[in-house]
Amino acid sequence: MNNIQSPGDGAETKRILIIGGGFAGLNAALELGGVQGIEVTLVDRHNYHLFQPLLYQVAMAGLSPADIATPIRSLLSTYRNTSVLLGEAESIDLPGQKVKFDFGEFPYDYLVLACGATHSYFGHNEWEQYAPGLKNISQATEIRKRVLSAFEHAERITDPDEQKKYLTYVIVGGGPTGVELAGAIGEMSRFTLSKDFRRINPSHTRVILVEAGPRILPMFSEQQANRAARDLENLGVQIWTSSMVTNINEEGVELGSERIRAATVLWAAGVEASPLGNSGGMHVDNRGRVIVEPDLSLQGYENVFVAGDQASFTHQTGKPLPGTAPVALQQGKFIGRTIREELKGKPRSKFHFRDKGQMATIGRSRGIVEIGRFKLSGFLAWVVWLVVHIFYLTGFKNRVLVVMQWGWSYLSFRRGARLIVGKEWDPPTEQKPVSEPEDQDVPVSSEH
């Protein structure tokens, strides 16, 4: 096994190892970039930083993957004390202060874990091949292929029952991702594709959003959730609440004794954290999230921090903070500043999340925004959503491309990334369920 040395290995140089190039890991690296006396190494399994809030736009053919992804090296290239490596972490030796990667072992003085999360199928991982989730670009392009291919299959067959199956889409999970996917499919079928086919009428597409709870968007107020439900219904989306999924296969979805025949099923329900924390012997909650101290450090290891979807931070509200981009971004910045200040001899402070509100979009020109008591819906909310997301897009080029692409889509009702590409779907199988026994009905709900 190779023992990888950091570029500035020395007695006085502190080695900061960051695993994960998402919002948390990237912002921690940015805070530490250019600081004297430290060497920062960021390791990620991909060579790009992905703007996940817009991933559904790739899945729905509104944007291309390059519009929402930027190479990590280019984002950190100005900092001479920062290195980027492509690799995957396999195990952590906390007492020995080193991490085993697929390319060798790497020692550290400070470790930042920001490995994110993946979907949880609540003990039914076999469902993934029939209902892909939406966490990365490969999943987004797979969803795009399935959604568009279903229309193509329906166009070339004559059996009405089979056509109905291919023109039925089921989204499992009524959180923001599920709502955005359902709205995008409803809009695409009724506007974008309405004139493209001759043997089928895409506007007759059936889109069903399934939620186990009593209403969709439980993290929003009931008033805002009801407004979103009405907007979805105007796009032809059927909302099934208080509905538990009991099985998913190639024929569709089973909800107890009821069955929905559908060729395309999408998963936007439970999530679980990266298994790296659990494999390292850390204390985790029932979703695999590492339980952290008020300063985001690991109990018993003050030089190890955990952030983003991988962390369970309950010290502010009594329950874990949601796995959203603003939480990860603020935690990453906090960790970077904490390490920087500690090396100057300053004491640590407690992390406090500044909630700047939440928002979701429904289709092309509808949305909901909730900032404390301030609530906004409809077109103005969609504009706010658009401005905020473009502002946080990494890289000026990405912002310009997204504005141009969306402007064209808005004016023409066209989508410029309607390409069916990609190999056969081969979902990962290494993920193990964190909780829930396999022989029970699954209470499917939203992502958070």
Catalytic residues: 180
CA distance linking residue 363 with residue 361, whole number of Å: 6
247-249 and 237-240 strand pairing: unpaired
Q: Is 346 exposed, middle or buried (0-12, 13-18, 19+ CB in 10 A)?
A: exposed
147's CB contacts (< 8 A; 6+ apart) are: 59, 60, 61, 169, 185, 188, 264
Question: In the Cβ-directed half-sphere of 163, how many Cα atoms lie within 13 Å?
Answer: 13
Alpha-carbon torsion 314, 315, 318, 323, what sign? negative
Phi, psi (rounded to 5 degrees) for 447: -60, -40
Residue 325: its H or E element: helix 325-342
CA distance linking residue 151 with residue 181, whole number of Å: 16
CA distance linking residue 240 with residue 206, whole number of Å: 13
The single-letter code of the amino acid at 358 is: Q
224's CB contacts (< 8 A; 6+ apart) are: 217, 368, 370, 375, 377
Q: Is 446 exposed, middle or buried (0-12, 13-18, 19+ CB in 10 A)?
A: buried
* Tokens 């695409």, residue located: 188
Tokens of 173: 């999970």
Q: Is 368 exposed, middle or buried (0-12, 13-18, 19+ CB in 10 A)?
A: buried
CA distance linking residue 2 with residue 100, whole number of Å: 10
Give the SS3 label for residue 220. coil
